Chain A
Amino acid sequence: AQRVTQPEKLLSVFKGAPVELKCNYSYSGSPELFWYVQYSRQRLQLLLRHISRESIKGFTADLNKGETSFHLKKPFAQEEDSAMYYCALFRFETSGSRLTFGEGTQLTVNP
């Protein structure tokens, strides 16, 4: 079965410091991975997807199939980055599709 693990429930950094939110997954198929962000219990917003290899709001994430990881990184954290971040694995089968989410990491960027 697929599983997504975010080992850090809470992460606190100072403004301007680098930040890395860890995500590990287990999935027997070819993974499609995403990062979602949730500000103050608002709706979930898609931040990044691994297939697009883009940088959004200064965040990047690289899929490492050898380490089964998809860590989210930003070189210089900003206060407005404070939010809950979820790593998610998309699974599609003929029986349907779904996102499996990690437990989430609450990022706090201190001034």
Chain B
Amino acid sequence: DSGVTQTPKHLITATGQRVTLRCSPRSGDLSVYWYQQSLDQGLQFLIQYYNGEERAKGNILERFSAQQFPDLHSELNLSSLELGDSALYFCASSVLAGNNEQFFGPGTRLTVL
């Protein structure tokens, strides 16, 4: 157990809908990362937050957004969902913004029907 938690474990929804994925980092970790794992794209970095502020952006679609709250948990919001958004979404955390050791959560499996 890495200490990173993600809810929900599974999410099934329809195209056009909006969902929110939640991540709680390890105690003491200030940085949160979101990754998407899909069969065709592999593991892709989406976005990083550090102590409440956005630090780095990867291949994140405009329909997606994220935020990190004062208690350091993070939420990834996915809107106008498409079939191709079906994937496993991982959250990871690290102590600092530039710390190279990232601890991954169990992921949220999103299925868009």
A residues apposed to B, CB below 8 Å: 32, 34, 36, 41-46, 49, 86, 90, 92-93, 95-104
Contacts and interface: CB of A to CB of B under 8 A. Distances in A.
Contact residues of A: prevailing secondary structure: strand
Contacts of B55: 95-97
A40 to B, nearest CB: 12
B58 A92 contact: no
Given A98-B45, A101-B43, A103-B42, A43 B98 contact: no
Contact of B100 (A90, A93, A102, A104): A90
A45 B105 CA distance: 9
Given A97-B98, A98-B56, A104 B42 contact: yes
Interface residues of B, number: 29
A98 B15 CA distance: 30
A104 B41 CA distance: 11
Given A49-B100, A97-B48, A97-B100, A44 B90 contact: yes
B107 A99 contact: no
Nearest to B106: A43
Contacts of A46: 101-103
B106 A99 contact: no
